[in-house]
Amino acid sequence: MNNIELIFTLFIVICVGSDSHSYESKTDSQKKLQSKSYSNTKENFAHTQTSGLIVTDLGKNYSYDSSKTPANLYFDNTDTGGSTSTSVRNDSEFNLKWNNDEGYYQRNRDLGLIFNPEQNITLDAIVLRTSGSDKAVKTGAPGADVILQIFEVSGTPVLKDNGTVYGDEAIGRFGSWHAMDDYVDGVSYIPLLLATGGQFPTMDVTSSSDTSGKLRYMRWDITENMQLIGGKRYCFVVGFENPTFDCSIALANINPITSQGKNGDPIYLYKDPNGKKWWGVRREGNSTYPPSRALGTYPLSEQGEPLKSQLKSESMFDSDRFNQEPVSNGFPSIDTYRTLQFYIETSGD
C-alpha cells in the first residue's frame, strides 16, 4: 500500500392552525449546536485525500494483535444485548420511518468515534462490530456502497450540559433525564481522508429469531495507508454512500447514559489508558439541528406536500454531506458518552 501524508440553520416556525399540528422552535442553546459546513463541492476539500475501501466480514470471532493495535486505540467491550444500539443508515426517501409521537422522520445517519494515537502511526484499517440487536443488519445493507472518513479534531473539548441538572427534562430529546442533552463543544473537525469504493459484506439480515448477523466483526481497510501524528486527536466516521431501501446497520457500543445518567449518577467522557478523552459523533440528515417537528398528528394527509417535503429533506443527506462536520449531538439521542467497540489496526509501512 502507498502512504498518504496527513496533512444550521435558522429554524422557521410555521403556524399550521392548531396546537395538534404545531412546530417546535429551538432554544438559543440548541441553535449553536448545528454542524458547520466547509463548502459545497468536492473540489474545495482543501485538505482531503482519497482512498479506496475494502470491508470484510471477519465472522463472530476476532482477536486484535497488540503489535498492530496499541492499548489506547481499541475498546474491547460492548452491550451484547443491544439495548444501547444505534444505527448507521441511509434509507431511501420513500422508506423513511415516521414517528408520530415526536413528529419527525427518522434521520439518515453516519456514526463515528474520537481516538488519540500516542505515537506516530500508519493507519491501515479499523475493525468494528455489529450490535446484538435485531437492527444489526437490515435488508438493504449487504452489498451497499460504504464510506469511511478521517478527521483531525482541533481544539479543547468542553462538556456542556445545556443548563439542565438532575431532575430536569432534557431539551428537545427523547428521554426525560437531563444528561440526554449534553454535548461536546470547543472543537472543530478537519476532514483529512475520504475512503470510498467498498461494499458492506454479505451478512444474514437480523431478527429476533436469526442471530447469525449479530455481533459480527468487520474490517474497514483503507487501500492507501495514512500517516497520523502522535499527540493529535482524530475521528473516524462510517456510513452508507447512497440512499437505499432499508439500508441500515447497528454498531456494537456502550452508552452509560442509559444507566448512570438516568439514575442521576455522574457521567464522564470516556478516557483511553493514557487519560485522553474520547466521545462518539454522528452526522444526521442535512444537519438541521434539531429537526423540524410537526407535533401531534401524522402530517402527510393533514398538512400536505410542502410540509412533507421539508421534513423529509431534513432527514436525508444532502450533496454537501462529506464536508459537514460530525457532532456529538443528535436527535433523538446523543453520542456524547457513547463509545463504539473498535480496534485501530496499524501497519509497519
Tell me the pLDDT tens digit for each residue of 211-235. 899 999 999 999 999 999 999 999 9
**Helical H runs in 161-295?**
260-263
* Residue 243 confidence (pLDDT) above 70: yes
pTM: 0.85
Tell me the pLDDT tens digit for each residue of 308-342. 888 999 999 999 899 899 999 888 888 999 999 99
Residue 289, C-beta contacts closer than 8 angstroms, at least 6 positions apart: 8, 9, 30, 33, 34, 35, 327, 329, 330, 331
* Residue 196 confidence (pLDDT) above 90: yes
pLDDT at 332: 80
Residue 282: Cβ within 10 Å count: 24
| DSSP notation for 34-96 | SPPB--SSGGG-TT-EEEEEEEEEEES-----TTTS-GGGEE----TT-TT-EEEE---GGGP
Q: Which long-range contacts (CB under 8 A, 24 or more apart) does 268-275 make?
A: 268/337, 269/157, 269/159, 269/184, 269/336, 269/337, 270/75, 270/337, 270/339, 272/71, 272/72, 272/73, 272/115, 272/116, 273/71, 273/72, 274/72, 274/116, 274/118
pLDDT at 178: 78
Lowest mean pLDDT among 132-136, 161-165, 215-219: 161-165
Tell me the pLDDT tens digit for each residue of 85-112. 689 999 999 999 988 777 889 999 999 9
Nine-digit cell string for 229: 501524528
* Residue 66 confidence (pLDDT) above 70: yes
Tell me the pLDDT tens digit for each residue of 249-307. 999 999 887 666 666 677 888 899 999 999 999 999 998 888 888 876 665 565 567 78
Residue ranges covered by each domain of the chain: 3-35+47-346
pLDDT at 344: 99
Tell me the pLDDT tens digit for each residue of 2-53. 444 433 222 222 222 322 333 333 333 333 333 333 333 344 444 578 999 9
